[in-house]
């Protein structure tokens, strides 16, 4: 398993291939379309993230001291953003997830194309993933 940092670096390098926002958008949509759908049993209100303009459901579980995420949204673009986060964070140890700064989000220039409300949605997703990790971390201690 790669470290969070290495996975972030890979995404940054992928995005360096794109000059235009249009290409980044298309790439993120592509990721969203390929994201494994979340089982219906997890698409419940308890799993909904507050603070997102679009509906986002996030499910987390642990396996061998690692935390795994699955998620879904009614927006394919948001699913693409989630796919990036899942790619980096899913399968990582809780303490790594809690402490990472996720600098790649800024480095790939995602936030600069977003209104504040949308950026807040992305921040809410990251926060929820970290909260899950924090919860699991304390459970195992």
| Residue with token string 């499910």 | 59
Q: Which residues are catalytic?
A: 52
CB of 34 to another protein, least distance (A): 8
60-99 residues near another protein, rule: CB under 8 A: 74-78
Select the residue interacting with another protein from 9, 10, 14, 29 (CB under 8 A). 29
| CA gap 38, 94 in Å, rounded | 21
Q: How many residues of this chain interact with another protein, rule: CB under 8 A?
A: 14
**Binding footprint of another protein on the chain (CB under 8 A):** 20-22, 25-26, 29, 33, 53-54, 74-78
């Amino acid at each position: 398993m790669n470290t969070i940092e290495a996975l972030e670096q890979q995404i940054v390098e992928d995005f360096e291939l794109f000059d235009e926002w249009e290409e980044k958008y298309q790439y993120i949509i592509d990721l969203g379309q390929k994201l494994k759908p979340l089982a219906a049993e997890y698409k419940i209100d308890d799993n909904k993230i507050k603070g997102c303009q679009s509906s986002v459901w996030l499910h987390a579980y642990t396996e061998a001291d690692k935390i795994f995420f699955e998620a879904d949204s009614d927006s394919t673009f948001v699913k693409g953003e989630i796919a990036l986060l899942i790619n980096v964070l899913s399968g990582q140890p809780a303490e790594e997830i809690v402490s990472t700064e996720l600098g790649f989000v800024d480095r790939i220039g995602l936030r600069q194309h977003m209104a504040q409300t949308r950026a807040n949605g992305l921040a809410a997703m990251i926060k929820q993933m970290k909260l899950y990790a924090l919860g699991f971390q304390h459970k195992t201690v």
